[in-house]
Amino acid sequence: MEEFYNPYEPVDRFYGTNLPHWQQGKVMVFATWRLADSLSAGKLEQLRRERKLWLLENSQPWNERQANEYRELFSRRIESWLDAGQGSCCLRKAELRQIVFDGFKHFDGQRYGLDSFVIMPNHVHVLFYPIAKHQMQKILYSWKSFTAKQINAAIGRKGPLWAEDYWDRLIRNSAHLEACRRYILRNPVKANLRAGEYALYPAR
């Protein structure tokens, strides 16, 4: 049975490079991260300036209106840039997508429970829940670290593969959960990808 965010229960808070991250027990999480070269420096700097001003006027914890506003102003813009297919898009290659796919599945049922995910050419979306005392940030770090090493070795490159931070949100209710599942399912269609350019789990 899925567990959802309860605003009256304690939340573990921690911070990445730019974004705050929350975890509440086994509550479902929707997370997104991207390849390091997927967004230009100019767009990122523009976004940083606008987000800094917005955060000065909207301190945590956010209410539902603020969370939706943040998503519209920043998250959706990033998603549209990513769907445009900028950067190397190395995950368009089946053998590199498979590394990420296998990385997700490796500890499924032990450290976390996977609901669904999509591997796009330059980013991923994953819907999951932590198990027992496993921390969300450590799960994400493990996924990113392992897959970066494997992909870099496979293509003979060095340096950061993934952007350092990631975006995530606790799932609020069953409607929110279904919305995230639909987003994952429809993302390849929205980005005009052909079969063989992405990986979807579970396959539908």
* Per-residue model confidence as pLDDT tens digits over 138-179: 999 999 999 999 999 999 999 999 998 888 889 999 999 999
Domain residue ranges of the chain, discontinuous segments joined by +: 12-37+89-201
Query: Residue 12 pairs with which residues in a beta bridge?
Result: 23
3-state secondary structure of 12: strand
pLDDT value at position 164? Answer: 87
pLDDT value at position 16? Answer: 63
pLDDT band at 204 (very low <50, low <70, confident <90, very high): low
- The answer to whether residue 77 scores a pLDDT higher than 90 is no
Measured between its terminal Cα atoms, the distance across the chain in Å is 21
* Per-residue model confidence as pLDDT tens digits over 98-107: 999 999 999 9
User: What is the CATH T-level fold of the domain 12-37+89-201, as seen in this structure?
Assistant: Alpha-Beta Plaits (3.30.70)
The DSSP result for 166-196, as a single string, is -EEEE--SHHHHHHHHHHHHHHHHHTTPPTT
Helices marked H in the chain: 41-57, 64-70, 76-83, 94-106, 136-155, 174-190
* Per-residue model confidence as pLDDT tens digits over 9-58: 888 887 766 667 788 789 999 999 999 999 888 887 888 888 889 988 88
Average pLDDT of the segment spanning 128-132? 93
